[in-house]
């Protein structure tokens, strides 16, 4: 009887996976590269106003996304 209950508990235990972390890393890396390209284009055009807006938008977007996405691994993984 005791073996059956321990098997059921281990059967439903979630094991950590690196899949969600790789997805989050890919999203953040892609957005960072996109912001860098936009910034380089604006600086190349010598449009410092647009470059400043790009920096501001990038910082705001990364801050919001990192605050939101940090909750996924914390709630997903149980140690």
Give pLDDT tens digits for 4-18: 555 555 555 666 666
Residue 42 pLDDT level (bands cut at 50, 70, 90): very high
**Counted domains in the chain:** 1
Residue 23 pLDDT level (bands cut at 50, 70, 90): confident
Report yes or no: 42 and 57 within 8 Å, Cβ to Cβ.
no
Residue 38 has pLDDT above 60, yes or no: yes
How far apart are alpha carbons 75 and 57 in whole angstroms?
A: 28
Is 8 part of a structural domain of the chain?
A: no
- As a whole number, mean pLDDT of residues 38-56 equals 96
How far apart are alpha carbons 9 and 12 in whole angstroms?
A: 6
Higher per-residue pLDDT: 69 or 5: 69
Residue 22 has pLDDT above 70, yes or no: yes
Is 4 part of a structural domain of the chain?
A: no
Is 28 part of a structural domain of the chain?
A: yes
Is 34 part of a structural domain of the chain?
A: yes
Domain with 19, as residue range(s), is 15-76
Strands (E) located in the chain: none
Is 51 part of a structural domain of the chain?
A: yes
């Amino acid at each position: 009887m005791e073996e059956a209950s321990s098997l059921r508990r281990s059967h439903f235990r979630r094991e950590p996976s690196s899949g969600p972390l790789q997805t989050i890393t890919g999203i953040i890396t892609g957005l960072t590269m996109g912001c860098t390209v936009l910034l380089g284009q604006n600086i190349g055009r010598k449009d410092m106003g647009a470059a400043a807006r790009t920096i501001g938008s990038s910082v705001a977007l990364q801050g919001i996304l990192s605050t939101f996405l940090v909750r996924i691994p914390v709630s997903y993984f149980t140690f």
